[in-house]
Amino acid sequence: MTTGDSETGPQQQRPQEKRPAPGVSRRGFLLGSGAGVGVGAAASAVLWRPWVTGDPTAESPGRASGSAEAGRPVDSRGRHQAGVDRPQTPQANALFVIADVPKTSSTEVFEMLANLGEGIDSLTDPKGHLTEVLPDDPGDLVITVGIGPQLVSLIDPDLPGAEPLPEFGSDTELEISGGDVLLALYATDVTVLHSAAMHLLDLVPDASVRWVQAGHRGPGEGTVARNPFGYHDGVVVPRTDEELAENVWIQGGPAAGGTVCVLRRMSLDVSAFRALGPGAQDAVFGRHRDDGRPMSGGSPTDEVDLTARTETGDLTIPLRAHARAAHPSFTGSPLMLRRSYGFAEPDTLEEGMVFVCFQNDLEAFVRTQHRMDETDDLMNFVTTTASASFLILPGRTGDQPLGSSLRS
Ligand code: HEM
């Protein structure tokens, strides 16, 4: 098969680095998840598996932490919040909590953020954390805070992250979207996540939990780990300080040092995908399943060559392969930092992935998703059930309260 240039795409110049239901009260929600009471039918439809689904005694958290960093404290202070590019190997376990809060005034939003910042310090300080909440060492617990479009707009409608996500063509099964506050908690020790999340929610007056999802990553070094389809994921992402500055961190204005996060809960039809057989599976991604190397050749960490052809003239990266559909050269977008977590729900056997990405311009995600909806065979196996975007606040240094730079 041969195609014109517009389909093969102008290969973007990138550094060829070799890379080593709304309205559920918090208390009602928690009771509902723990004791099976208190959550109405409408709400339970969107609260898939409240709280941690991981088995603390299972082997995976330890095994998945195969990196040298695993378990070591991660500094929550700095120009950027932790949980985006640090630690370099994302922790094995995640808990994403998305809550709504009363939208009264920006003053109250700043107060809430300051409380959350202090709460995070009290949980993650390796020299003196709150033992009432976490009796033992918090290890590499990290909590990243974001605010949704309505809260961002309340502060300043011109800030990045004020624009909500549009509805996409593939969003036909979407059960819930949006949310005011994102608490993204990550740790090698799965048992700390629940307690830490509950403590932080207690610091947010009148919060109602909108949706929650736990997720887990397989073993891996750096950003790469196998996704629930069994493929290496997180290969082509910005890594160096220059790449992160260009693609991920907001560069100027009150939100400088922050980023825009998109969170999509995706149900995956892994059985149907597996039934394709090995060759056809590779064609869906444009990479080989065994070690992740591109179908266009090279090593597992190489980028795909969208122009490469076989001896008979066919494109080696198929026209509807995910690596082609999502490639930034077609959208003119910056490269997003992807940091996803898989899940498998023991009660329903549903398999899925919390797709998490960070970029300094929401449009990078929007354009890519529109293109995937049109030209990506991967979407045949994906049903998006929840979707939200957040402004991830800049990091903090000194006594600066979380979110205070947005006051200016
Ligand atoms: C179930 C959902 C998804 C799965 C299983 C998945 C998996 C993958 C895999 C295996 C790769 C190739 C290796 C790599 O570079 O990491 C990849 C690349 C990529 N994906 Fe996804 N992905 C999913 C959804 C998305 C979504 C929703 C977006 C954004 C809208 C996206 C954007 C990208 C980008 C930008 C690349 C890099 C393409 C390149 O430059 O080579 N993916 N994804």
CA of 326 to the centre of ligand 1 (A): 6
Mean pLDDT of the chain: 86
Give the ligand 1 atom nearest the CA of 236. Answer: 15
236 in contact with ligand 1, CB cutoff 6 A? yes
Q: Distances in Å between the alpha carbon of 169 and those of 164, 374, 375, 378, 385?
A: 16, 8, 12, 14, 13
**225 CB near ligand 1 (under 6 Å):** no
| Cα 100 to the center of its chain, rounded Å | 19
Ligand 1 centroid to residue 336 C-alpha, Å:
10
Cβ-contact 285, 302 below 8 angstroms:
no
Q: What is the model's pLDDT at position 71?
A: 87
Indicate the range of 116-120, 220-224, 274-278, 383-387 predicted with least confidence.
220-224
Residue 323: per-residue pLDDT: 98
Distance 354 CA to ligand 1 centre (A): 12
- pLDDT level of residue 54 (50, 70, 90 thresholds): very low
217 in Cβ contact with 341 (< 8 Å) = yes
Rounded to an integer, the average pLDDT of 386-404 is 96
Peptide bond into 228 cis (omega under 30): no
CA 46, CA 210: separation in Å to the nearest integer? 8
Does 332 score more than 50 pLDDT? yes
Taking the CA of residue 223 as reference, the ligand 1 atom at the shortest distance is 16
Q: How far is the CA of 48 from the centre of ligand 1 (A)?
A: 24
- Which among 233, 299, 316, 374 is the best mutation to test ligand 1's pocket, defined by most ligand atoms within 8 Å of the CB? 233
Judged against a pLDDT cut of 70, whether residue 403 lies above it is answered with yes
Q: How confident is the model at residue 66 (pLDDT cuts 50, 70, 90)?
A: low
For the chain, give the percent of residues with pLDDT over 70.
83
Query: 378 C-alpha vs ligand 1 centroid, how far in Å?
Result: 9
Domain boundaries, the chain: 22-396
For residue range 350-376, what is the model confidence (pLDDT) as tens digits?
A: 999 999 999 999 999 999 999 999 999
Q: Mean of the pLDDT values across residues 149-175?
A: 97
Q: What is the pLDDT of residue 35?
A: 26
pTM: 0.87
Residue 1 has pLDDT above 90, yes or no: no
User: What integer is the mean pLDDT of 182-189?
Assistant: 97
199 pLDDT more than 90:
yes
Say what the pLDDT of residue 9 is: 52
Q: Is the CB of 165 under 6 A from ligand 1?
A: no
